[in-house]
Amino acid sequence: MSPDTMTERRAVERIVLNTYGRLTGRAGEPMRYAMMEDTPVGVLGLAAGEAGLRRLDFVKDEATFVEWLFDSYGDRPILRSDDLDKVRRALDRYFAGDRLTFDLAVDLSDVSGFHERVLRAAVRIPVGEVLTYTEIAAKAGNPRASRAAGNALHNNPVAIIVPCHRIVRSDGSLGGYGGGLHVKEYLLKHEGVLLV
């Protein structure tokens, strides 16, 4: 990027953030977001802070997602930004089948404790493999907490990239999925998992 472009970007962002302060009092590091309007699994909303990608949600449309961000991150400016283009390109490659793994900074500070351990265990499941709810609960340190593990996966803030879809029931059926079961089925087939 040329120095001119960088200077312009910084100046433009300062103008927007100052205006935010004047209108609403929201200040500090903004939550940046981007949309992916037509993926094979519908509309996706992405949001990231300084530390990395914080949300990847299945959403109805941009306005709904923006409203949700305003409610959920009440103290921070919300800003549509092309800083998330890297994430979008990684997802494009994923959906195209060119590259099914992600090398992106993910920020799980919206979850903690057992829930966070479940999600970190899910990240380690390789493409093409699945675990059961009991197995992932065990990997997170409590084999008897399969129901709590299910809740943690259901509330996964960074869908697809934290692959909560790679957890299925021990009888081989799909279990649940926040984005809808057809999405879970699509993702697993896309990753080459043979479903019963």
Give the Cα separation of 58 and 67 in Å (integer). 14
How far CA 101 is from CA of 72, 74, 118, in Å, comes to 29, 33, 19
Catalytic site residue 11?
no
Binding mask 24-63 for other proteins (x = CB under 8 A): x-x------x----------------------------xx
Label residue 7 exposed, middle or buried (CB < 10 Å: 0-12, 13-18, 19+).
exposed
Residue matched to tokens 């109805």: 60
- Which of 1, 2, 23, 171 touches other proteins (CB under 8 A)? 23
Question: Whose Cβ is closer to other proteins: residue 13's or residue 107's?
Answer: 13
152 binds other proteins (CB under 8 A): no
What is the nearest approach in angstroms of other proteins to the Cβ of residue 71? 11
For the stretch 155-184, what's the b/e string if a residue is b when 16 or more beta carbons lie within 10 angstroms of its beta carbon? ebbbbbbbbbbbbbeeeeebbebebeeebb
Question: Whose Cβ is closer to other proteins: residue 57's or residue 135's?
Answer: 57
Q: How many residues bind other proteins (CB under 8 A)?
A: 26
Binding mask 70-109 for other proteins (x = CB under 8 A): x------xxxxx----------------------------
- Which of 1, 3, 22, 112 touches other proteins (CB under 8 A)? 22
Give the Cα separation of 132 and 136 in Å (integer). 6
CA 162-100-161 angle, to 5 degrees, is 15
52-58 and 131-132 beta bridge pairing: unpaired
- Which of 36, 46, 56, 69 touches other proteins (CB under 8 A)? 69
Residue matched to tokens 């009991």: 134
Q: Where do contacts with other proteins occur on this chain (CB under 8 A)?
A: 8, 11-16, 18-20, 22-24, 26, 33, 62-63, 66-67, 69-70, 77-81
**Catalytic residue set:** 164
